[in-house]
Structure 1
Amino acid sequence: MSQVTEDDQLTRLQEALDGAATGGIAVSVVAGVCLVGAFASFLLSMPFTVPFLLGFVGVTAYGWFAHQAETARTLMFVATVSTVTVLGLITFYVFLEAAPAFANMGVVELLTRLEQPLWNTETHVYSLVPLMWGTFVTTVLATLVAAPFGVAGALFISEIAPRTVREIIKPAVEVLAGIPSIVYGFIGFTVLNPYMTEKFLLAGQGSLFLAGIVIGFMALPTTVSVAEDAIASVPESMKSGSLALGSTDWQTMKSVTLPTALSGVSAGILLGVGRAIGETMAATVILGTVVELPDPLYDVFGNTITLTSAIAAQYGSAFGLHMNTLFAAGVVLFVTVMGLSIAAQYVEARMQRKLGGDV
């Protein structure tokens, strides 16, 4: 009799589990249909976007209380798919809008034209060379500031500073990373710009040198924070072993800590470089809006425009081919940042193979 009762209990438990699984699947399906319907309605400009979204929220709320595990898995899946979909749509849209500019001017002409005029919205003649040169110079200058000072700051916080000092400096650095870029740009324009104009006898307001320095200090907190996390993750046994063999603290940092954490440190530097390339407001505030190359070309105290500042300064009045050219500038930025990301992954994989003894 007890055996029958136990079998009945197992059967009822299995039926309950099957019912819960079926209910969770049903909730997931309905939620997915609501979300797809909201997305389709938005793309087709139909008036059903809000009802579908409300339906998704309602079904998700019910599923969270009735079938929490299945609903959580569904939400994580939706978040992943949504991220990939949105990024894909943004990429497609940017390339689609930039296509007329590349078709009209030609890819080579648009990216290499040096003949005057370089930028004329009336005759629809455009060249991205001044924009790319301004971006390149400011990025190099910013990297020369952020890379050495960032690594040095990370080493100081992680390896040299006393614990009390570390607990003060690290949160302060992270707070600096959250300051809006317009604040840095405004300080650079109102405080540093007049000083440099007076001391260096510059012809006009703004210079690539000033923009690069300001952007470098903007990227510095990001570089310090990421590099410090990488250095702090180095196993203590490796550093202790080096010290036990008679190495000094500096020799240990130089020969053990930095090589071991190089992938994370390089990632911090590349993140800083990525911020320098994509910086908009600081460059827009400090630099001028004239699309010309410095004369001579290597004059870092000259003035020009960057890819991001051109987009920020001109998109409000742009239309037609002018707008398409600004999207082409966005494509150049996209390809550049993607190249940096691939390079960072390659460096990380290379260092992992090297440190693992498989060079």
Structure 2
Amino acid sequence: MFNTIGIRTISQTVSGIWGQTLAMVRTAAELDRPSLLLALAQILFTIAAFVGFVVQSAWTITFLYGFLMIAGIGWVARQALTAKVVTFLMTAATLSTLGLIAVFLVMEALPAFRTAGLDLVWPFGSNEWSTSAGQYSLVPMIWGTALTTAVAILVAAPFGVAGALFISDIAPDWLREIVKPAVELLAGIPSIVYGFIGFTLINPYVGNLLSINPGALFAIGLVIGFMALPTVVSVAEDALSAVPGSMKDGSLAMGATEWQTMKSVSVPTAFSGISAGVLLGIGRAIGETMAATVMISHSRRLPQPELYNAFDSTETLTTFIAASYGHVTPGEMFWSTLFAAGVLLLVIVTGLGIVSSLIERRMHRKLEGQ
């Protein structure tokens, strides 16, 4: 099923891009000479500014000013055409920038993979990190990321789905208008604030309650879980709100209670969207940096005595990068290893985003009867 959805999504994307390209070609063919020159000038100045920025040319600002001047003239003379060209150029620039970032990360990480090979991420080797001994392994950081993410999702998934059900199916309209913006407002709180609260309140409380050292992965997972809550609640609530009202009304008309309707109709129908929200919450938990950096103890080893001991402390991929990049010399093996950790994060989070998009698209097709 996943392969079928993936192939169908890729084919739809290619078809959409091809259709847009043909539409732009037809539009260009229908333009008069001044409009065509105006559009070409904007495109050329944008490409020149982008290339100049990449190669760090002194002409970059000149090209940028040229584009702004041509765009201003076009906005006065050919507003509709200029709007199409500018939106297309901004989209192309965004995609190109993301591609260059990925290429840069991979190129900087290649020396680490050439030197350490699969031992860099292979869990059945020594799994020891020692720069003095020349031993580099990201396995402790990967495992720390997995444990904190597991704890976070155990917090965010049930609370997030429960909050989404309350907002969409239980709360009256006046309360929904208050609770939903309040939950979404939580996403705007800087992560360093969550980290400071976790460091000053949760770390000591959990340490005294469970008699463990500060910086335990369990405490960090709690904080990150609450940080991921707005994402899960928002996406899951949108999915539950998309369930047709006729399905709920039919269930109630058959004599089912509101709880039975939520449990047997709303949640199963919107399960794909809820799963997408949970996956996006996992992505948020994996990519969280500052809150975990403030709370964690930065010990680059596997948890003891058992690998699944979430009450011990280690390092995560994000905290490893944040805590190390400031005192590493570019070009060293350590430097390349940091970029290798970035590549792993990029692959994991991108994969989760793609899967969540496929699941959400499947939900919409299901609700539309396709």
Alignment partners' CA distance in 2, 1:238 and 1:60: 50
The alpha-carbon deviation at position 194 of structure 1 amounts to 1.1
Please tell me whether residue 219 in structure 1 is matched to residue 219 in structure 2.
no
The alpha-carbon deviation at position 81 of structure 1 amounts to 0.9
- Secondary structure of 1:123's partner? coil
Distance 1:248 1:289, change over 3 A: same
Give the aligned CA root-mean-square deviation in angstroms: 1.9
Alignment partners' CA distance in 2, 1:354 and 1:157: 23
Length, aligned pairs only? 339
The alpha-carbon deviation at position 116 of structure 1 amounts to 5.3
After TM superposition, the score normalised by the length of structure 1 is: 0.89
Unaligned runs of 5+ in 2: 1-28
- The residue number in structure 2 matching 1:245 is 254
Q: Give aligned-pair identity as a percent.
A: 54
Distance 1:99 1:19, change over 3 A: closer
- The residue number in structure 2 matching 1:28 is 39
The alpha-carbon deviation at position 356 of structure 1 amounts to 6.7
The alpha-carbon deviation at position 48 of structure 1 amounts to 0.5
- The residue number in structure 2 matching 1:143 is 153
The alpha-carbon deviation at position 233 of structure 1 amounts to 2.0
Alignment partners' CA distance in 2, 1:257 and 1:125: 52
2:99 to 88, 106, 111: 88
The alpha-carbon deviation at position 44 of structure 1 amounts to 2.4
Alignment partners' CA distance in 2, 1:65 and 1:237: 49
- Deviations 1:251-309, CA, capped at 9 Å, x for gaps: 21122212222222222111111000000001111111110111121211100000000
- The residue number in structure 1 matching 2:336 is 324
Q: Is the 8 A contact 2:298 2:320 kept in 1?
A: yes
1:337 to 345, 349, 366: 349
State the one-letter code of the partner of 1:39: F
State the one-letter code of the partner of 1:303: S
Please tell me whether residue 231 in structure 1 is matched to residue 243 in structure 2.
no
Please tell me whether residue 193 in structure 1 is matched to residue 207 in structure 2.
no
- The residue number in structure 2 matching 1:165 is 175
- The residue number in structure 1 matching 2:115 is 104
State the one-letter code of the partner of 1:199: L
Please tell me whether residue 305 in structure 1 is matched to residue 315 in structure 2.
yes
Alignment partners' CA distance in 2, 1:67 and 1:42: 28
Please tell me whether residue 314 in structure 1 is matched to residue 321 in structure 2.
no
Rg larger in 1 or in 2? 1
- Secondary structure of 2:215's partner? coil
The alpha-carbon deviation at position 335 of structure 1 amounts to 1.5
State the one-letter code of the partner of 2:279: L
- Secondary structure of 1:126's partner? coil
Alignment partners' CA distance in 2, 1:352 and 1:157: 20
Aligned structure 1 segments of 4 or more residues deviating by more than 4 angstroms: 113-117, 349-358
- The residue number in structure 1 matching 2:88 is 77
State the one-letter code of the partner of 2:271: L
Unaligned runs of 5+ in 1: 1-17
After TM superposition, the score normalised by the length of structure 2 is: 0.87
State the one-letter code of the partner of 2:336: N
1:55 to 55, 66, 73: 66
Q: Is the 8 A contact 2:248 2:261 kept in 1?
A: yes
The alpha-carbon deviation at position 355 of structure 1 amounts to 5.7
